A = this chain, B = another copy of it.
């Protein structure tokens, strides 16, 4: 294996100089640079991250914590993160909570000395017991309440959606959501819905807001079940907001299974705008989230390339065919 030392010898300089030309930091004469570059090329030198990670006491891996890898929304995010991380010579690794104690996962992150952790799961964890993270200044996102954060600003999209429903004459608008403590009381989509019911002349009825076990259980499954629950409640409704597109998939399925027509009998609005929302039947009207910006923001935060302490992600309504 060819090392930095080999390059240095071949170029007739020291390893420090080689480091300088590679990193771009520090002064190097044009002549030295040329020789080093040529040596690197001839020797096909490939730097060893393993060594630099150790020397720097920090790895180049960004950890992403997820509840469930199969969630397409997360994958959009991860996709963006991988792209952004690659630009900066970092890599992203996945850590799943499924079937593992949180402590195990945390130990795993610690032993790997990851340089940052993006927690996409619905819980905060106590990192205070992990000196490693604190000492090494590992950056955390969405792990503790004090983290810098990226928040999806659902308001514009939600307002557009409510306006659309209003324009179409809907009055009894249900909202199918997830975990009560995380996704009903704290969620910006739900809050926006709740805060603007009167403004758009929608019926206010607590029973129209349903909570379920997402994301501990699959969104589509929760959507299906909650929709059946809504159907059985006997309440009148002419439109349903779904917390996510996948939830909308389940909701629509339940509606079909019970003989309802979409959007004739009930209008559906999702949230996320997954890449295949267009191919739902009918094509889903949904609140698009700028997922690429969100993913980029995560890695920029982790890498300290973002000076803001909070970045807001844009949303907007994408009108397709699921609203009459």
Q: Which residue of B lies closest to A253 (CB)?
A: B279
**The 5 nearest A-B residue pairs measured at CB:** A69-B79, A253-B279, A93-B93, A91-B93, A220-B279
Interface size on A, residues (CB 8 A): 65
Chain B contacts of A68 at CB under 8 A? 79
Q: Which of A48, A72, A112, A136 has its CB near the most chain B CB atoms (within 10 A)?
A: A112
- 8 more contacts with CB within 8 A, not counting A49-B113, A72-B75, A92-B94, are A46-B130, A46-B132, A53-B54, A61-B93, A69-B78, A86-B96, A93-B93, A220-B275
Q: Complex: how many Å from CA A57 to CA B278?
A: 47
Of residues 1 to 55 in A, which have CB atoms within 8 Å of B's CB atoms? 1-2, 44, 46-51, 53-54
Question: CA of A89 to CA of B82 in the docked complex: distance in angstroms?
Answer: 22
Q: Does A212 contact B (CB under 8 A)?
A: no
A147 within 8 Å of B (CB atoms): no
> Could you tell me if B54 and A83 are in contact, using CB atoms closer than 8 angstroms?
no
Chain A 170-205: CB-based contact to B (< 8 A → 1; otherwise 0): 000000000000000000000000000000000000
Q: A48-B111, A111-B49 are in contact. Are A72 and B69 (CB under 8 A)?
A: no
* A252 close to chain B: CB less than 8 A: yes
- Once the chains bind, are B54 and A79 in contact (CB under 8 Å)? no
Is A126 an interface position by the 8 A CB rule? no
Q: Taking the full assembly, how many copies of this chain does it contain?
A: 2
Q: Is A142 an interface residue (CB 8 A)?
A: no
The answer, yes or no, to whether A296 is at the interface (CB within 8 Å) is: no
**A131 beta carbon closer than 8 Å to chain B:** yes
Beyond A50-B59, A86-B100, A100-B86, whether A1 also contacts B131 by CB under 8 A is yes
Measured between beta carbons, the chain B residues less than 8 angstroms from A59 are 49-50
Question: What is the 8 Å Cβ interface bit string for chain A, positions 227-266, against chain B (1 contact, 0 not)?
Answer: 0000000000000000000100110110010000000000
Among B54, B132, B278, B283, point to the contact of A54 (Cβ < 8 A): B54
What are 17 A-B residue pairs whose CB atoms fall within 8 Å in the complex?
A1-B131, A1-B135, A2-B131, A44-B131, A46-B132, A48-B113, A50-B50, A69-B78, A70-B76, A79-B96, A82-B96, A218-B275, A218-B276, A220-B278, A249-B276, A253-B279, A256-B281
Q: For residue A75, which residues in chain B have a CB less than 8 angstroms away from its CB? A: 69-70, 72, 75
Nearest chain B CB to A143 CB, angstrom units: 17
